[in-house]
Amino acid sequence: MPPTADVRDSFLEAAGDLRREGWTPDFPIEEVAADFDAYVRQVLARTEGWGVPISTLWYVDGATYLGTVLVRHRLTPALTLCGGHIGYHVAPRHRRRGHARAMLALALAYCRDDLGVDDVLVTCPETNVASRKVIEANGGVLENVVDGERRYWFRREEVGGT
Whether the predicted pLDDT of 159 surpasses 60: no
Over the stretch 5-29, which tens digit does the pLDDT of each residue have?
Answer: 999 999 999 999 999 998 888 999 9
If you ran DSSP here, which 8-state letter would residue 92 be given? G
CB-based burial label for 86 (10 Å; 0-12, 13-18, 19+) = buried
Over the stretch 77-128, which tens digit does the pLDDT of each residue have?
Answer: 999 999 999 999 999 999 999 999 999 999 999 999 999 999 999 999 999 9
- What pLDDT score was predicted for residue 58? 97
CA 78 to chain centre: 17
What is this structure's pTM?
A: 0.90
Q: What counts of helices (H) and strands (E) characterise the chain?
A: 6, 7
How many Cβ atoms from other residues are within 10 Å of residue 134's Cβ?
23
To the question of domain 5-158 being in CATH 3.30.70.1350, the answer is no
Cα–Cα dist 82/94, whole Å: 26
